[in-house]
Structure 1
Amino acid sequence: MPESPSPSSTAAALDQVGPRLRRVREQRGLTLTEVARLTGISKSTLSRLENGQRRPSLELLLPLAQTYRVPLDDLVGAPEIGDPRIRLKPRRVNGRTVLPLTRPGGIQAWKIVIPTSQSEPNPRTHDGFEWLYVLSGQMRLVMGDQDLVLGVGEAAEFDTRVPHWFGSTGEGPAEVLSIFGRPGERAPTHAPHSAPQPAH
């Protein structure tokens, strides 16, 4: 079994994230003000990240990786311990194409491709907590009494004990990143983003 990174090596890796963020931003020719506008992260938070005064988190690094168009690992500088690759084996689940992005156990992540035809809500409940991020197209989210539409770059998080369903708006397919955790494994997802718009 591969050894877990020591606390000192983890701290050293995190210390390198700030300089790496600044270098990538400057290579893209972007100012902090422009990045703040593109990501919804405040300029002061971005500055503290680059100066090492704030610890990087998934909720901050995801929108930055998307804005800079680089893999998340390029920002984190993840060490190569064994073979970190996940063997993507797409499978069909209830008419959707699902690609697992994590190994079994703990918090789970999937990329889900939802066909246009899946636009009829069928809410359900189960234990856990889910985070959704729209990669392409538009996604309809029905949760309790709410009926929402999320566009590219928008995210939602919710307790899955609330009746919920997500699918296509009926106007085209959608690609969604889904992160699911069992009770007590809630993913941190409080990065600012524009509010989803009610479905019509």
Structure 2
Amino acid sequence: MDDQQRRNVLAAVGPRLRELRRRKSLTLAELAELTGVNESTLSRLESGARRPTLELLLPLAELYDVPLDQLVGAPRTGDPRIHLRPVHRDGMTYVPLSHPGGVQAHKLLIPPRPGREPELRTHEGFEWLYVLAGRLRLILGEQSLVLKAGEAAEFDTHVPHWLGPDGDQTVELLVLFGRQGERAHLKARTT
């Protein structure tokens, strides 16, 4: 890697950090509180006015739950595989299938949670899902749908929604999620 390439990699760190923070819906003040890194330092990192150091990037990588090389956009080593690191959150297992940026792909496993009432939520973006195994109960606003393996749905996540298994078996999904305005336009080909 020559000097210009190094400068380009370093220049891209700030915008990447800003995007990750926005995806988490955090302010700089909230991020400073969570990481112990000064708010001014975080602002300068995101604007490119401060060079990233390992000491500053490690707590951010941990909070954003991304590998350090992904955080800095380290050049590829020739291995095109994505190294899957499952994330367990709210009783569900998310397996990232893509790198951060643009539309995100995840495999999602939702086990049955007897006695737990659905909590409808809203957030920025669009979501597309495809049921791989099991039966999915999707509550979308006032509508309650059951999707079985092989069925798909797409919706604006501003609409209150909830996903869970329909029955006593884990449901397995492929989920594509994009920021507001980014939709997964998938069209079936006719023969």
**TM over 0.5, shorter chain:** yes
Q: Contact 2:136/2:164 (CA < 8 Å) preserved in 1?
A: yes
The SS at the match of 1:123 is coil
The code of the aligned residue for 1:137 comes to G
CA RMSD in angstroms, aligned pairs only: 1.9
Q: Report the 3-state secondary structure (helix = DSSP H, G, I; strand = E; otherwise coil) of the residue aligned with 1:131.
A: strand
**Deviant stretches of 4+, over 2 Å:** 189-192
Higher Cα Rg, which structure: 2
Identity %: 58
Alignment of 1:66-85 (within 5 A): 82-85=78-81
Counterpart of 1:113? 109
2:121 is matched with: 124
Residue correspondences, number: 113
User: Quick one: distance in 1 between partners of 2:122 and 2:145?
Assistant: 18
Contact 1:117 1:170 in 2 (8 A): no
Distance (Å, rounded) in 2 between the aligned partners of 1:162 and 1:153: 23
Q: Are 1:148 and 2:145 counterparts?
A: yes
Cα distance in structure 2, aligned partners of 1:159 and 1:147: 15
Unaligned runs of 5+ in 2: 2-76
Task: Check conservation: 2:126, 2:154, Cα contact below 8 A.
Answer: yes
- For residue 168 of structure 1, the aligned residue among 165, 168, 177 is 165
Shift of 1:190: 4.2
TM-score norm. by structure 1 comes to: 0.53
8 Å contact 1:136–1:176 — kept in the other structure? yes
Aligned match of 1:88? 84
Aligned to 1:137: 134
Partner of 1:75: none
Give the partner amino acid of 1:172. Q
Q: Does 1:183 align with 2:180?
A: yes
Distance 2:178 2:143 in 1: 22
Give 1:115 shift.
0.4
Q: Which residue of 1 aligns with 2:65?
A: none
d(CA) in 2 for partners of 1:91, 1:163: 23
Task: Give the secondary structure class of the aligned counterpart of 2:121.
Answer: coil
Instruction: Report the TM-score when normalising by structure 2.
Output: 0.55
Task: Work out whether residues 135 and 167 of structure 2, in 8 Å CA contact, stay in contact via their aligned partners in 1.
Answer: no
Kindly provide the CA deviation profile for residues 108-147 of structure 1, in whole angstroms up to 9, marking residues without a partner as x: 0100111012663111111100001000000000000100
Q: Aligned equivalents of 2:79 and 2:184: distance in 1?
A: 25
